[in-house]
């Protein structure tokens, strides 16, 4: 394995689905408030970070927030699973073909790097029949801070494939400035894709290594991600 490609989930691989409503429901169940759930920008944030920002904004202390997180996420996962039956996530254009092509390239390892807690990632990607495409991942349940997730993914990838990946051949693919930022924090490459809330111009201004409008140009993206750079 020469290359490791780590994909974000929401806005990158899939869109839509019932997660926000399920999260809102679980916040109300466990804390009695969801804070400013319609006003907060969720983009690129981890699930526990979103919970903390919403609940802090509603006046809760960190100790009270921390005490409720296990119940919050248990409630969220139950609600998410229930709701996904009627409202599955939508796979974004080009994603299955790109994953096929990368898997077929032979020396490309595929993983996840997402702010979703692991159980939420499993449910969302399972509803889109994409979960089995990824052998490793790092998740919002590993750290509340997205910038701390790349080393977790690299360690799991090294263990899974028995390879120490060269940082110059590790790409993070995501739809927000936070995806780009967590790659930059660790000297990894970043491919930003404008299928979420951010435009190509906004993503280009982050200093991403490459920006695309969608993951639809399979051949060009495979060439980019598997290029051997000095």
Judged by the rule CB under 5 A, the positions of this chain that interact with Mg ion are: 8, 10-11, 175
Tell the residue number behind the tokens 């780590």, with chain if given: 6
Smallest distance, Mg ion to C-beta of residue 152, A: 17
Shorter beta-carbon distance to Mg ion: residue 8 or 144 = 8
Shorter beta-carbon distance to Mg ion: residue 79 or 175 = 175
Distance CA 41, CA 196 (A): 12
Smallest distance, Mg ion to C-beta of residue 65, A: 23
Burial class for 129, CB neighbours closer than 10 Å (0-12, 13-18, 19+): exposed
Query: Within 10 A of 202 (CB to CB), how many other CB atoms are there?
Result: 14
Shorter beta-carbon distance to Mg ion: residue 10 or 142 = 10
Shorter beta-carbon distance to Mg ion: residue 116 or 226 = 116
Shorter beta-carbon distance to Mg ion: residue 76 or 198 = 198
Smallest distance, Mg ion to C-beta of residue 176, A: 5
Write phi, then psi, for 209 (nearest 5 degrees).
-65, -35
Smallest distance, Mg ion to C-beta of residue 13, A: 9
Smallest distance, Mg ion to C-beta of residue 166, A: 25
Residue nearest to Mg ion (CB): 11
Smallest distance, Mg ion to C-beta of residue 156, A: 20
Shorter beta-carbon distance to Mg ion: residue 68 or 181 = 181
């Amino acid at each position: 394995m020469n290359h490791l490609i780590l994909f974000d989930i929401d806005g990158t691989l899939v869109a839509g689905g019932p997660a926000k409503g399920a999260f809102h429901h679980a916040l109300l169940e466990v804390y009695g408030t969801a804070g400013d759930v319609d006003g907060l920008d969720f983009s690129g944030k981890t699930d526990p970070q979103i919970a903390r920002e919403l609940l802090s904004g509603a006046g809760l202390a960190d100790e009270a927030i921390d005490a409720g997180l296990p119940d919050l996420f248990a409630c969220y996962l139950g609600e998410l699973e229930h709701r996904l039956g009627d409202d599955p996530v939508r796979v974004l254009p080009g994603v299955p073909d790109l994953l096929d092509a990368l898997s077929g390239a032979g020396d490309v390892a595929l993983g996840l790097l997402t702010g979703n807690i692991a159980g939420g990632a499993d449910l969302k990607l399972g509803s889109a029949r994409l979960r089995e495409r990824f052998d490793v991942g790092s998740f919002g349940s590993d750290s509340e801070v997205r910038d701390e997730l790349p080393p977790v993914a690299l360690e799991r990838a090294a263990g899974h494939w028995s390879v120490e990946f060269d940082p110059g051949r590790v790409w993070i693919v995501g739809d927000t400035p936070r995806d780009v930022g967590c790659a930059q924090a660790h000297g990894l490459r970043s491919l930003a894709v404008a299928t979420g809330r951010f435009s190509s111009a906004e993503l280009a201004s982050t200093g991403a290594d490459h920006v695309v409008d969608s993951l639809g140009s399979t051949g060009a993206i495979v060439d980019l991600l598997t290029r051997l750079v000095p």
